[in-house]
Amino acid sequence: MNAESRENFGERLKQIEFELGGRKVLIDRTGISQSQLSRYARNEGQPTIGNVIAIANAGGYSLKWLATGKGPKKEGNEQVPEGTVVIHFYRSNQSSSGAERSTTGEKSVPILFDIDYLRDEVHVEPQACALFRARGDSMAPTIKSGDLLIIDQSVRRGDDIFVLRLNDETMLKRLQFLPTGEVKVISDSEAYDNYTLGKEQLADLQVIGRVAWHGGRC
């Protein structure tokens, strides 16, 4: 694993943890310790090939993608029409904070998207996309419960709406990154209180990606 791959390994690991339902699930499936996974997530040290294989096998991820960031994320032989791409989203186990994530062992349901549409209209690169189903009314009226979301996992900062994890809970919130280094967490619905995360709380914040597009239930 070269220096660039090591630098981004932690982000890919965080994606896997999120999609599997949390770090504890990955620990149970791989036998890798909490402290070791934490170091990998911070890009500290180089994971052994055995641990890389174990992490990839935990959810059917491509070993090449996990080690290098290149190629498709998931193993498989899906045949898709030219000019389209398969993007996965995870169903069930809704959170109370406005986004939906996978449960242990849940299989992703592929949805075909036109590549040109994603690039020209949604302004995202297909390989950075993930799909989520909104749950709850904390972001209404902007995003309603049941809306389909396209998440751009390459964008994790800026004043926009993001899917995030905070204290092991999945949330759909508007974020404002303040000059003080703090982050304001905003619900569009007036029924919910906004709050600010201090610098000491940011270690518990994992931004999954920006909401690039949302639409009614399909």
- Hey, where are the domains in the chain? 3-68, 84-215
Type of residue at 154: S
- Look at residue 80 in the predicted model and tell me its pLDDT: 67
- Look at residue 187 in the predicted model and tell me its pLDDT: 97
- Look at residue 21 in the predicted model and tell me its pLDDT: 79
Residue 179 per-residue DSSP state: T
Q: Which CATH class is domain 3-68?
A: mainly alpha
- Look at residue 112 in the predicted model and tell me its pLDDT: 81
Contacts of 54 (CB under 8 A, 6+ apart): 29, 30, 31, 32
- Look at residue 218 in the predicted model and tell me its pLDDT: 44
Which residue in 176, 184, 69 sits closest to 128, CA to CA? Answer: 69
Pick the CATH number of 84-215 from 3.40.50.620, 3.40.50.150, 2.10.109.10, 3.30.930.10: 2.10.109.10
- Look at residue 70 in the predicted model and tell me its pLDDT: 87
- Look at residue 78 in the predicted model and tell me its pLDDT: 53
Which residue in 118, 138, 137, 135 sits closest to 212, CA to CA? Answer: 118
What stretches in the chain show pLDDT beneath 50? 90-97, 99-108, 218
- Look at residue 131 in the predicted model and tell me its pLDDT: 87
- Cβ atoms 97, 136 nearer than 8 A: yes
| Look-up of token digits 């030219």 | 82
- Look at residue 110 in the predicted model and tell me its pLDDT: 57
